[in-house]
Amino acid sequence: MIWPRLFTAMATPFTKEGNVDIISAAGLARYLRDHNSGGIILAGSTGEAFSLNLNERQILYEAVRGATPELPIWMGTGTNDTRATVELSTAAESWGVDGLLVVSPYYNKPTAEGLIQHYSEVGRHVHCPLMLYNVPSRTASMVDAETIATIVHRIPGPFSVKEASGSLDQIMQLRRILSSEVPVYIGDDALYLPGLAVGAYGVVSVASHVVGNEMLNMTKAYLAGNIALAQSIHDSLWPLFKQLFVVSNPLPLKWLLTRLGLIGPWVRKPLVMPEDQVFESLLQAYVYAKQHLATDSLQDVPGLENNRDRT
């Protein structure tokens, strides 16, 4: 099983009329590949999964798969209803996705036993790799490390965790109780480098849309033991990490991608794009990161020949 170090949770481009823009989606996927994303996850939080129906998910997947056949392409299929999650997951697997991102159920706040049964039911119906997505800021419930460990033991196939609770303590607990064969991914770019230091394997990134090369270079430097260089890259990227969440994701990201000419600015309600002045500091942070990290010498950092390692 090949696990990318750097997944990008890809934004879903829309047309002005509100349809999925498959031409822009294919172009964005190629751009991510060319800037060192090792895998792409569609229909996550950044991809506005809340607004995508089954047909739209399929055409989005087919566009991205056709544009980047060499990359692992995963699909977000989690909902707060187990039956709906199973239906989405089995459909996505039938299309040929390489893995499924399954967010913990939101709004209804299930008990630990409910979470265990939810994921176990998904695991009974699909055979491709799964990634449990713990993001209590969006779901209103925390999946603790012990519950995750129980879920892992119930799932027969390859399994990973996207940990977006913002807690390094949770990451340390996961690394203590999970097998090394279960990669733990950071779901918050600003915590990626600290997460590596306490045992995380990789990142499911938003910032890699625009600083993918720099994110990989930070990973390379850390894995090569050049902690000072990794810290320096992190320090240059940190303002951008924060500004990408100045309002709800993916609004800042889509605004910046529009400025870079990669996609259009359109989102689906209830998301509404703010006025440009909201993002003045975001643009400054992007320019700052690019200016401070504009050197080809970073590409020579040894220790990671590419961003897809085998575990």
Residues labelled catalytic: 133, 162
**Other Cβ atoms within 10 Å of 183 Cβ, number:** 22
Nearest CA to 250 among 47, 15, 29?
47
CA–CA gap between residue 171 and residue 185 (Å, rounded): 9
**First and final CA of the chain: distance in angstroms?**
7
171: number of Cβ within 10 Å: 25
Q: DSSP secondary structure string, 63-132?
A: HHHHH-TTS-EEEE---SSHHHHHHHHHHHHHHT-SEEEEEPPPSS---HHHHHHHHHHHHHH--S-EEE
CA gyration radius for the chain?
A: 18
Other residues' Cβ atoms within 10 Å of the Cβ of residue 24: 19
- Long-range (24+ apart) CB contacts under 8 A made by 258-266 are 259/283, 260/210, 262/24, 262/27, 262/28, 262/31, 262/209, 263/11, 263/13, 263/21, 263/24, 263/27, 263/28, 264/13, 264/14, 264/15, 264/16, 264/21, 264/24, 266/13, 266/14, 266/15, 266/16, 266/18
Burial class (CB in 10 A: 0-12, 13-18, 19+), 55: exposed
